[in-house]
Chain A
Amino acid sequence: MSNWALIIYCGLITYLTRFSMIALIKKEMFNDRVRQVLSYVPSAIFPAIIFPAIFLDNSGSILIEDNPKILAALIATLIGIFSRSIIATIFSGLASYWFLIFVV
């Protein structure tokens, strides 16, 4: 599949989710139980992007020792818990990562 086809399909599926939200889905279609489980979708799917990007090296093997990303991610998480700020989380993580690779 060409890059453009891939982009268009990803755009279509994103658009269709949004369109179905306002045009097809009615409040009555979801009971409380389904709504409750759907509210956990971000917690269920985002870690699948977060964890491998932190714990795996470029070849896909698990890297624990000598991996500054782990400590930087922990710092970012702590800052996130206390500040609840998206910006503070991103920048504290990047700053500590740069500190660990360039200064330490």
Chain B
Amino acid sequence: MKSSLKVFLKGIIDVSPLMIPVVPFGLIFGVLAIDVGFTPLETMGMSLIVFGGASQIVLLQLFSGGASSLVIISSVGAVNSRHLLYGAVVSEHLSDLKLIWKIIISYFLIDQAYAISNDYLKKNKDQNRYFHLVGAGATCWVIWQSTTFFGIILGAAIPEKLGLSFAVPLTFLALLVNDFRKFINVIIIIISGLVATFGYNFIPFKAYAIVAGLTGLLVAMILTKMIKTNE
């Protein structure tokens, strides 16, 4: 059995390439949070407490559009629902962990750490294999907190004219790069986008993100069923 430190370091090394896109994401978040009107302390608090890129950017976007707290919180929940799928897969490897470790690891269980450690957990059955996930998660944590911090500092220096808020749709667009080639995904993307755009002013409480998301999922249910019956 490898030492826990070695497993932890392996987690750091394995996750490092995935950290490259996190750097601009964190910087953009820090810059925009200040731009939208959060204090530096609140912005840092968000990265420390929420520790999730998509959640935090959705929070900013809806906050700046004047959505109510309830709508913001449920939209963040909707964005996170994609994690439930990962849970169904990763829980297999973590089932014999002590509850206290599950409580700690949950904080670090972000997309990148999950993606990289799932492979390791599948292949290794050592008792300390979870340190891989902790190493990967801690790396993401350090990168996310430090880029948020630099974003806050940069925010004051970046002129509004640069239109950096455009980086928000771009980062989410970038998260979908693997879905652009799939027919069903493209249909869902277009329908959800149109519902959100045209419903923006009409859907009450600025709940357009939730309505569009649910419409997209409904389309997914119908399309996957249709394609199945055709086979």
- Residues of chain A touching chain B, judged by Cβ–Cβ distance below 8 Å, are 1, 3-11, 13-15, 17-23, 25-27, 29-30, 33, 35-56, 60-62, 69, 72-73, 76-77, 80-81, 83-87, 89-91, 93-94, 97-98, 101
Q: Known A30-B88, A87-B21; judge A48-B185 contact (CB<8 A).
A: no
Interface membership of chain B positions 158-202, coded 1 if the CB is closer than 8 angstroms to chain A and 0 otherwise:
000011011111111111111111001100111011111110110
User: When chains A and B are docked, how far (Å) is the Cα of A21 from the Cα of B83?
Assistant: 7
In the bound complex, do residue B109 and residue A46 qualify as a contact, i.e. CB atoms below 8 Å apart? Answer: no
Q: How large is the interface on B (under 10, 10 to 19, 20 to 34, 35 or more residues)?
A: 35 or more
B24 within 8 A of A: yes
In the bound complex, do residue B177 and residue A27 qualify as a contact, i.e. CB atoms below 8 Å apart? Answer: no
Enumerate chain A residues within 8 angstroms of B73, measured Cβ to Cβ: 6, 9-10, 13
Contact of B49 among A7, A42, A93, A97 (CB under 8 A): A7
In the bound complex, do residue A15 and residue B106 qualify as a contact, i.e. CB atoms below 8 Å apart? Answer: yes
Q: Known A18-B107, A40-B216, A53-B166; judge A90-B185 contact (CB<8 A).
A: no
Q: Known A3-B38, A17-B81; judge A97-B174 contact (CB<8 A).
A: no
Please classify the interface of chain A as helix (H, G, I), strand (E, B), loop, or mixed, using the class held by over half of its residues.
Answer: helix
In the bound complex, do residue A7 and residue B45 qualify as a contact, i.e. CB atoms below 8 Å apart? Answer: yes
Contact of B50 among A10, A39, A42 (CB under 8 A): A10
* 8 Å CB interface, B12-58 against A: 20-21, 24, 38-39, 42, 45-46, 49-52, 54-58
Enumerate chain B residues within 8 angstroms of A35, measured Cβ to Cβ: 85, 88
- Counting chain A CB atoms within 10 Å of each CB, which of B49, B57, B85, B194 scores highest? B85
User: When chains A and B are docked, how far (Å) is the Cα of A3 from the Cα of B44?
Assistant: 13
Q: Known A10-B72, A77-B173; judge A17-B80 contact (CB<8 A).
A: yes
Q: Known A22-B94, A89-B170; judge A47-B49 contact (CB<8 A).
A: no
B153 within 8 A of A: no
